[in-house]
Structure 1
């Protein structure tokens, strides 16, 4: 397989590079400074609007829905070039473009696509994910947040329950929500998927103080929240299939925007060692970084292949979990090496050092990625069973109605 750009891809890359050079620097985030979340959110919206106005958002979406109708390979090329800039591209924007829009595009109605896709690409609508619960994390299908039909013949749904780890829920406009609508069937079959306006009465978000000092995550409480049936995505009971579409997009997008190894290579090259050498001259350091860089490049090519499958209407399934698993484990390993290269200064950085605070933050946050979007152990099980064809784990709850589970 030839991983070099074709002439057409090279021309597209040059076009993307030129446009980004003219527009991205004005939107870059300051290095070593953590902004207030409202400021970061405003910057994220502004960058999304810049992308839309320049016709660089929703590259794989049909033109009729505000996109450009391009291939997955072209989307990967643009992500690579965009990743060279420190842009406001965190969960505040990616949950909408990488999770909400794929599920709406695949399972939603034409009216829902018209309502949500273009405004999201413009940054006018931002999204959070209302999936995990205190008793349903890695085992998402164990969720207990419940929706029942309103008794006034309106067709609306009344939702009660609690979600947790809801990134940016305190600032976003809409949420993608999965709830239980039938307890008399096995747990994976009784779920239904909705989009919900986060300003709906009965929704309360409470920020969670993180070890990093930030509060990007929230607990979200839903008390008698009324959701119109028009906000249901897919059929009643089709919630698990919708969730898989969301999670495939999340896992397939892991680490897509910028290299995690190259900054540590640069750090090793400028960190002094003995005899006037640098840490990059250390054989053990070079071996560790070479191994990580080779893995990252291999993942990038594999990711391009899977994105091409999606653009053709194919479903990568558990293959997408391989991207996320490889990225999360490598990121923590490489950032840990970066901390070791810094020595004591990685703990107590010089006030003039703008690089180390970001390294510290990323290292702390890397532990989250071993759980968010699918814990390592869950992904390994899925890959073993669905990719390698190995025997599945014994499941005592497989065909048991949810209301009979202990």
Structure 2
């Protein structure tokens, strides 16, 4: 691995640092997650500022409003932006997963209509894949689309849809043919989240937040012109989205070993041998993940495409976050059960992050799914047995 920037990369890093220091305050540490109207407005304003200065999407072509830069420059931008209090959350799914799918499979009209508005923060997107009976096995989804002239009529339910309650549009994966095996009967559409028949119900999470949603579709009509890819080729389209998702959710927001070490120092427990051993494990895991990211960075710098090893990141960081927060809460004794920001240490950072961590272990692929990806595609181990591989979907057992 090469840890050094080339002269061109160093120049871009300096340009990014100058821009960020002019517009944002440096990050002083992890903060509790917030998702309210003021946070959304701030995120939209920052997105617009980035777009106007060609920092919104580094690798996108200039004709789409991007910078036309390299993948390595995108990595550098991500590294530098992470050092500042940048409100990027509402656009991570849209610009990281949905719009790249629209660009890859949409018509010229789609690109003209949606790309610029999303890039400038005018419209927010969500991803409508998971269902109550189709989480890890997305291809088992049951939301139906039936052709009616030049339109499709959608009925069904999605769940765990991040940001659906403030999204304007979404990419929707549905079943258009139940007579073929489950992976072959899917089709992808663009859906207007504000149109009649779309009902969004926020889910009250254990953390107190409402970031995830249930979404119900009742006789929702979508024009065939808003289809992405061919009818029945939705799984191919979805794989492009999922590949972007794996990379986008690789890390985890929240406290790391540095935060808990600082807190332990305040409490005077650094001399506890059991805690010191845990702290060492967390540090080693953090450094291992850092070096894994450097491997990805080196591949990008050489013009190579990172592979399925990116799945390692989320497995490590999600479990890492949960373990750190659990230990910090235990250190607070009976005060650890209090989840009121104004009454506990660091504004309840450890409590809110502990409640969020289980969701992170599910979002973007469960631990089990990602371990299978690593086993099969990185280590070359045999694939799981799939007894339903060639079975038509309407003949599959359910319930």
SS at match of 1:359: helix
Distance 1:336 1:394, change over 3 A: same
Greater alpha carbon shift after TM alignment, 117-126 vs 379-388: 379-388
1:212-251 correspondence runs (5 A): 212-251=207-246
TM-score with structure 2 length normalisation? 0.90
Distance 1:204 1:259, change over 3 A: closer
1:125-164 correspondence runs (5 A): 125-150=123-148, 153=149, 155-164=150-159
Structure 2: how far apart are the matches of 1:257 and 1:24?
21
Find the counterpart in structure 2 of residue 69 from structure 1. 68
> Could you report, residue by residue, the CA deviation over 1:165-212 in whole angstroms, capped at 9, with x for unpaired residues?
111211110011000011111101111111111111110111111111
Find the counterpart in structure 2 of residue 114 from structure 1. 112
Correspondent of 1:332 among 322, 325, 328: 322
Structure 2 unaligned residues grouped into runs of 5+:
none
Q: CA deviation at 1:79?
A: 1.0
Correspondent of 1:321 among 311, 318, 321: 311
Q: Is the 8 A contact 2:58 2:74 kept in 1?
A: yes
Q: CA deviation at 1:106?
A: 1.9
Structure 1: how far apart are the matches of 2:312 and 2:35?
34
Q: CA deviation at 1:15?
A: 1.3
Correspondent of 1:252 among 247, 250, 257: 247
> Could you report, residue by residue, the CA deviation over 1:330-386 in whole angstroms, capped at 9, with x for unpaired residues?
332333344345454443478365614122111110111111111111111222122
TM-score with structure 1 length normalisation? 0.89
Q: Compute the RMSD of aligned alpha carbons.
A: 2.8
Structure 1: how far apart are the matches of 2:328 and 2:296?
25
Find the counterpart in structure 1 of residue 50 from structure 2. 51
> Could you report, residue by residue, the CA deviation over 1:240-286 in whole angstroms, capped at 9, with x for unpaired residues?
12211111111112245878535425524642326xx6779964244
Q: CA deviation at 1:108?
A: 2.1
Structure 1 unaligned residues grouped into runs of 5+:
none
Q: Is the 8 A contact 1:251 1:320 kept in 2?
A: yes
Find the counterpart in structure 1 of residue 363 from structure 2. 372
SS at match of 2:20: helix
Distance 1:266 1:111, change over 3 A: farther
Distance 1:290 1:262, change over 3 A: closer
Structure 2: how far apart are the matches of 1:33 and 1:386?
35
Find the counterpart in structure 2 of residue 84 from structure 1. 83
Q: Is the 8 A contact 1:133 1:164 kept in 2?
A: yes
